[in-house]
Amino acid sequence: MTVKARIFVTYKESVFDPQGQAITDAVQSLGHPEVEKINVGKFFDVQLDPATKSVAQTVSEISEQLLVNFNLETYRYELLEEQQ
């Protein structure tokens, strides 16, 4: 069986995100005063077989080992629906 988990990685609140800032500025200058702020993050869609290890465990292991730099970033994850 295969399930899909989506891991969201974002900068911690206290970390300045120059890209988010640049995109917010650009969007506003393109004529979107209705946009107040844009934050940028990345996500990882992990396709995995939960037979031997729980999804939660795989996700926390790979996030801690590789996907997330805890100096800067935090993460959350969710399971994706099959039809996705």
Partner 1 sequence: MKIAIIVFPGSNCDVDLFEALHSVCGATAQYVSYQEKSLAGFDAVMIPGGFSYGDYLRCGAIARFSNIMPEVVRFAAAGKPVLGICNGFQILTEAGLLPGALKRNNGLKFICKTTALTVENNETPFTNQYQAKEKIYLPIAHADGSYYAQKDVLAQLEAKHQVVFRYADENPNGSLNDIAGIINETGNVLGMMPHPERAVEALLGNVDGLRVFTALLAGNGYQKEAIR
Partner 2 sequence: MTVELEMSPQEIKEKKPYLEWGLSEKEYDYIAQKLLGRLPNYTETGLFAVMWSEHCSYKKSKAVLREFPNKNARVLQGPGEGAGIIDIGDGQGIVFKAESHNHPSAVEPYAGAATGVGGIIRDIFSMGARPIALLDSLHFGEIKDSRTKYLINEVVAGIGGYGNCMGIPTVGGEMTFDECYADNPLVNAMCVGIIEQSEMQKGQAKGVGNAVMYVGAKTGRDGIHGATFASTDFSDEKETQRSAVQVGDPFMEKLLLEACLLLTSKHQDWLVGIQDMGAAGLVSSSCEMASKAGSGMTLDLDNVPQREDGMSAYEIMLSESQERMLLCVRAGFEKQVQELFHNFGLDAVVIGRVTEEKNYLLRHRGEIVTDIPVTSLTDDVLEESSREKKPARMLAQSRKPAWHPGKLVVAATLRKMLQQPTIASKKSFTETYDSQVRTNTVVGPGSDAAVIRIRQTNKAIAITTDGNGRLVYLDPFVGGKIAVLEAATNLVASGATPLAITDCLNFGDPNDPEVYWELHQAVKGMAAACRQLDTPVISGNVSLYNESNGTAIYPTPMVGMVGLLTDVHQYLTPTVKQVGSQLFLVGETGNDFAGTEIQKMLTGQLSGSLNDFSLTTTVQRLAKLLQANQAGLLESAHDLSEGGLAVALVEMTLHSQLGLSLAVPFAGEQLFSETPGRFVVSVAPQKVAAFKQLLGTDAVLLGEVTAKRELALKYQDGTAVLDLEEAKKLWEEAIPCLMKSKD
30 touches partner 1 (CB under 8 A): yes
CA nearest neighbour of 77 among 35, 48, 51: 48
Residue identified by tokens 């996907």 is 67
CB of 12 to partner 1, least distance (A): 9
Sketch the per residue contact string, 8 through 37, with partner 2: x for CB under 8 A, - otherwise. ----x-xxxxx---x------x--------
Q: Is 74 exposed, middle or buried (0-12, 13-18, 19+ CB in 10 A)?
A: middle
Of the candidates 16, 18, 65, 82, which one interacts with a copy of itself according to CB under 8 A?
65
Residue identified by tokens 């500025």 is 25
CB of 83 to partner 1, least distance (A): 26
Could you give the CA distance from residue 44 to residue 50 in angstroms, rounded to a whole number? 17
Q: Which residues contact partner 1 (rule: CB under 8 A)?
A: 14-16, 18-19, 22-23, 26, 29-30, 65-67, 69, 71-72
